[in-house]
A and B are shown apart, each in its own frame.
Chain A
Amino acid sequence: MTKIGIMSFAHMHAHSYAECLNRLPGVELVAIWDDDAKRGRKMAKEFGAPFVKDRDKFLARELDGVIITAENVKHRALVEAAAAAGLWILCEKPLATTVKDAKAMVKACKKAKIGLGTAFPCRYSLPLMTAKDMLDSGAYGEVYSVACTNHGQSPGGWFADEALSGGGATMDHTVHGVDLLRWMLGKEFTQVYCELGNQFHKETMKTDDLGSMNMEMEGGIQVSHIASWSRPQSFPTWGDVTMEFICENGVLNVDAFNQKVIVYNDKTKHAGWAAWGDNPDLGLILDFVSAVRDKRDPVISGIDGLRATEVTAAAYKSSKTKKAVKV
């Protein structure tokens, strides 16, 4: 039995990860720690695992690995503590809010000889995996340009508090597109231009809620990416991940979460989309558990988290300097 603990339910993805752990055979969610004891106790009840208030006591329990789903800026301290305790780690994205932190985390895990993974579940989305297979088949030839979006509704809470999140929608939603393209095309980002701002939520938050980026990858691939919290509360779903690949032999489009039924409900007076696609989180958690068991790095490593953080940092730098900057 592989024993996994969860550190913090600040990030809503923790709910899905906990469900995955409870669904998978040969894994046990053995303990929950949270610096918000009220939330931790509630989650412990919901997912049937004991809540441990003291962090050191939590880390001293019989654990093989931890999933860290705290606020972005707390990732580093928790990763360093878990690494020191010799535990395998899956850290929520973005791995860190600064390149310095991300590098320190990768270094600490290497030193402790433990595996560090970054939670980029989109790599386990079947529509995106299918698109990668289509590109890899060679049928589409060389990729010239890509237009990506990762829109969302405003998550509010700590996400909109720079002291905890390190930034807004650009911090939250750049890394998905960046990691997907690094994975799908096997190339690194070289240059980033970004216009960002608080375009929709001036009354309720101070961080940016949209970044419009133009980026370059090795070999001169031209990429646009929109990271946003632009979707209004009345939008029928949480948001999207879309990509249009302009290739030598054709065009490939992916709308990763466009497996849905449209629901018109008089109670809510609102049309909604009910998703029926497979849950990509399951693949992510399965790989992490296997990595813990086999004492290897998760497929999506800390280095992947670091590379994505480097691009986000370049985007923020570009928006300040008003120039395209090298990654």
Chain B
Amino acid sequence: MNVAIIGCGGMGRLHAEMAANCGLRVVACADAVRKAAMSAAAPYRAKAFENPMGAIKSKEVDIVVITTPTPTHEKYVLAAAKAGKHIFCEKPFGRSSLECKRSIAAAKKADVKLFVGHVVRYFHEFEAIKAQIESGAIGEAGWVKLYRGGIYPGNAKSWFRDYAQSGGVTFDCMIHDLDWVRYVFGEPKRIFCQALLRKTPTQLDYSQVTMRMKNDVIATIIGTWAHPSGFRVKVEACGSKGMVQFDSSDAPVSGEARKTASGPTMIVPMSPVAVSPYQREWEDFLGWVEGRSVPRVTAQDALRAVQMAEAALQSAEKRQPVKL
């Protein structure tokens, strides 16, 4: 099968590599910035497009990967569905739950597979935590804490810095943890959120959530784009008979160069694993496309994650909890 990458930033190039690893052909790379499209296309001898619609409509394309800024996801999902292509959409699914619902309806109508990349479900450490909880190692789980983030992503002109587009750390980054908590502990009941969403004097965002689940578990979730450097993930789940903890800063490999050309940057620390979580996510998606299996995460799950993030931002504005 042949793949088109729509949006050739970091995630677009990563998904092109994963698709190629799965034996797929990357045939089209589209980006409004021509240079980005060309450099993404080069390793695969793919065709570079400035107009995403050209790539989406291209006859040889079977799968469209959408890795553009969040508010543009819907229009590309709709176009891809209309063109009869299967879709891999990066998270967040859309900038609003309404956009997500229209996307789901379009994929259903066109009878194409629509997958949303909630990759945290595929991370080895998160699988291990879930397995420990489900094995009864901590007894009955009562509280979970997740912490994720580091430096504010993107350069000064990046869409990440426009809260209307990205939704800040709550919508773009914490959505991973909102999804994972629901994946492991079931549906949420209500959510309370405090978010900084600062623009001046320095742009930074820090989000603190308390969420009550229907099964009575309490979740505390912190997302940060307020740190001067780095990226860190911490997880802690406590139960009646024990607790399980993870901290990405406690990694098997660590190094520090004496000099870096570009200064501090957003480095995602990844413990080396034989098959990366992104690769596993692709294998799961392809299993579904080829009719071999049902994926771990559905578009409906991704819609729920967007609804939770929306509720969080609504709570932050009202300074009161929001029912889900």
Interface residues of A (CB under 8 A from B): 144-145, 147, 191, 193-203, 209-210, 212-214, 216, 222, 224, 226, 228, 230-232, 234-235, 246, 248, 250-251, 322-324
Which of B3-11, B219-227, B275-283, B288-296 lies at the binding interface? B219-227
Cβ < 8 Å to A, chain B residues 186-205: 190, 192-196, 198, 201-202, 204
Asked whether B196 lies within 8 Å of A144 as measured between CB atoms, the reply is yes
Query: Can you report 14 residue pairs joining A to B where beta carbons are below 8 Å apart?
Result: A144-B206, A145-B194, A147-B222, A193-B192, A197-B142, A203-B240, A210-B143, A214-B192, A214-B208, A224-B208, A230-B143, A231-B238, A246-B196, A324-B320
The reply to whether the CB of B324 lies closer than 8 angstroms to some CB of chain A is no
A-B contact count (CB 8 A): 110
CA distance A110 to B202 in the complex (A): 47
Inter-chain CA distance A141–B138, complex, in Å, is 41
**CA A231 – CA B216 in complex, angstroms?**
19
Q: Report the nearest A residue to B145, measured CB to CB.
A: A226
The reply to whether A145 and B243 contact each other, CB–CB distance below 8 Å, is no
- Residue interface bits B125-142, CB-to-A below 8 A is 1, else 0: 000000000000011101
Is B53 part of the contact surface with A, judged by Cβ < 8 Å? no
Which A residues are CB-close (under 8 A) to B217?
199
Contact residues in A for B239 (Cβ distance below 8 Å)? 200
Partner of A248, one of B143, B202, B243, B320: B202
B224 partner residues in chain A, CB cutoff 8 A: 246
Q: Shortest 7 CB-CB distances between A and B: which pairs?
A: A199-B142, A230-B238, A222-B194, A224-B208, A212-B210, A145-B206, A246-B226
Question: Contact between A234 and B192 (Cβ–Cβ < 8 Å)?
Answer: no
In the complex, A246 Cα to B190 Cα: how many Å?
A: 26
Give B103 Cβ to nearest chain A Cβ, in Å: 32
Q: Which residues of B contact A248 (CB under 8 A)?
A: 201-202
Task: Tell me which residues across on chain A come within 8 A of B222, comparing CB atoms.
Answer: 147, 224
Query: Which residues from chain B contact A230 at a C-beta distance below 8 Å?
Result: 142-143, 238, 243
Question: How far, in angstroms, from A202 to B240 measured CA to CA in the complex?
Answer: 8
A residues in contact with B194, CB < 8 Å = 145, 214, 216, 222, 224
- Chain B window 221-242, contacts with chain A (Cβ cutoff 8 Å), 1 for yes, 0 for no: 0101011100000000011111
Whether A224 contacts B220 in the complex (CB less than 8 A), given A248-B202, A322-B190, comes out as yes
Residue of B whose beta carbon sits closest to that of A142: B201
Contact partner of B321 (CB less than 8 A), chosen from A193, A198, A228, A250, is A193
Report how far A323 CA is from B211 CA in the complex, Å.
13
